[in-house]
Amino acid sequence: MHTLSQLFLQSTQFYAIVLIIVVGLVFIDRRIFLRALSLMLFSMVFNAFLKSLFKIPLKTHFKRDWYAFPSGHANTSTTFYGYLIYRFKNPLLTLIGVIFIIGICWALVHNHYHDWADVLAAVGFSILLIFIFHWLETTRLFKDNFMVLTLIMTVAAYGLIKFSPAITSHTAIPLGALIGVSLTTILEKMYGYQGFHPLIDFLIIIIGMLGLQALFAKLGLTSYTYTILEYGLISFWATYSPHIFAKLKR
């Protein structure tokens, strides 16, 4: 059971979700996966804000001064996989996604990272967020203007951080990545998007992301501002770099 729980938890890890996002952007449906990424990033900031409101501490064995309710891992996985389930409406994908979400929630409790109240609350908030987001993206204002919706989410995320400074140190990665995606949506609105070949685009994205991480690690740039810059560049590279290379080639 321990091995199974660890397998489920691996699907919530940064590199696993990044790989799924890149594969989805390049090989499956760029439009849907770009929206899934944006919603997931905003939900991470919103989840930190909720934690700061409820102030239910983590279990003592973590020895960290932070909060458990609602669960961040359950929130991220439910928002990301849940949105894909909702958009694709494919029976097999729905089954796999539901198994992953339930398995992740069970694994978090099984490994004593969270109580059931933490994970169930996270699932509930995530489902509500998915419905609100999908309703917004289908309204007349945002239906053909995803750029505006992304910018609003970025500003809202920044506003939550300013309203609750306690979450600042926990939100550098999602805020930076959301800024990077916002830049992508602006450029895509202005200049469109067209890559090379899916396999080449995939390699461009992966190599560039690894290179950026290695560069920031080599320079030792780890402050809050530099973390925002790092993940802003990484998310922008992941979502727009193939178009830049395609333009240069032409």
Residue 191, domain extent = 2-249
Percent pLDDT > 90 in the chain is: 62
Distance of CA 201 to the CA centre of its chain: 20
* pLDDT of 79 over the 70 cut: yes
As a whole number of angstroms, the distance between CA 122 and CA 116 comes to: 10
> In the structure, what pLDDT confidence band is assigned to residue 58 with cuts at 50, 70 and 90?
confident
When divided into structural domains, the chain yields a total of 1
- 164-209 per-position pLDDT tens digit: 999 998 999 999 999 999 999 999 999 989 888 899 999 999 999 9
Closest CA to 151 of 114, 184, 194: 184
**Backbone dihedral angles phi then psi of residue 57, each to the nearest 5 degrees:** -70, 155
Instruction: Check whether 240 has a pLDDT greater than 80.
Output: yes
Helix (H, G, I), strand (E, B) or coil at 67: strand
What is residue 62's DSSP assignment?
Answer: G
**pLDDT-derived band at 40, boundaries 50, 70, 90:** very high
How would residue 9 be classed by pLDDT, with cut points 50, 70 and 90?
confident
